Structure 1
Amino acid sequence: MDWKVRAIRGATTASSNTKEAIAESVKELLDDIDQRNELDPEEIISVVFTTTADLDAIFPAAIARKRDHWDSVPLLDVQQMAVTPSLQQCIRVLIHINTPKPQAEIKHSYLREASNLRPDWSLAQVASR
């Protein structure tokens, strides 16, 4: 088996700048990525979250750290670069993993209003479900 480092991208939006709304969005996004890619926390190298400046009620990494077996996963939160106009209340994630899967089998997740960020991936992956 030839293992490689791969990256999984994802994004979503929160309905408001509250701990509950952000937690709901992060959990939904990570659940979707996990389900579609069958993640094993032991194979995760690192996870980087970004949020737009209008989301500051809680760190997405704090939510991710509560996931089963994610307590040792290296997590980082940073603020997304502000470009006008851009999607507001947006949470993005970049997950680096070790995997034997080829790049074509990696499934990226763009949920809620963020589905418009990569319509090419969103449409292709809906067809492959």
Structure 2
Amino acid sequence: MIRGVRGATTINENNEIEIVEATEILLRKMIEENSIDAEMVASVFISVTEDITAVFPAKAMRLIEGWKYVPVMCMREIPVESSLEKCIRVMMHVNTNISQKEVTHIYLGDAIKLRPDLNAAD
């Protein structure tokens, strides 16, 4: 079974260092909380809001040992009026036997506003 593992974070400034650091923190947390090994991952989609242009956030995934060959694609999020700004979203497609309810989705920074229903307490 392939399950989607979601994550999102925000940045303060559109610069390469902050984008890569925030994305790496998010990816590592998603990997840790869901016990994901790179060999389990079919692909990763990373989207950004239109105000993030300094670097491809996928660069962060290449900093994680063993993730060199995981297919990753970056794209722009739909610019919905009044949506969260400076947001990086990740969709990881993982081969796993756990149920959807057991997946831990990770929301950091201002992105916790996106899915308050998925807070760790649930």
What TM-score, normalized by structure 2, do the two folds share?
0.96
Distance, in Å, in 1 between the alignment partners of 2:62 and 2:20 is 11
Distance, in Å, in 2 between the alignment partners of 1:75 and 1:64 is 8
In the TM superposition, what are the counterparts of 1:1-129 in structure 2 within 5 Å? 4-122=1-119, 125=120, 127=121
Distance, in Å, in 2 between the alignment partners of 1:66 and 1:28 is 11
Distance, in Å, in 2 between the alignment partners of 1:103 and 1:85 is 29
Runs of 4+ more than 4 Å apart: none
Letter in 2 for 1:33: M
Letter in 1 for 2:2: V
Distance, in Å, in 2 between the alignment partners of 1:10 and 1:53 is 18
Distance, in Å, in 1 between the alignment partners of 2:31 and 2:67 is 12
Shift of 1:66: 2.1
Gaps of 5+ in 2: none
Q: Give the fraction of aligned pairs with identical amino acids, expressed as a percent.
A: 39
The alignment partner of 2:63 has SS state of coil
Shift of 1:82: 0.2
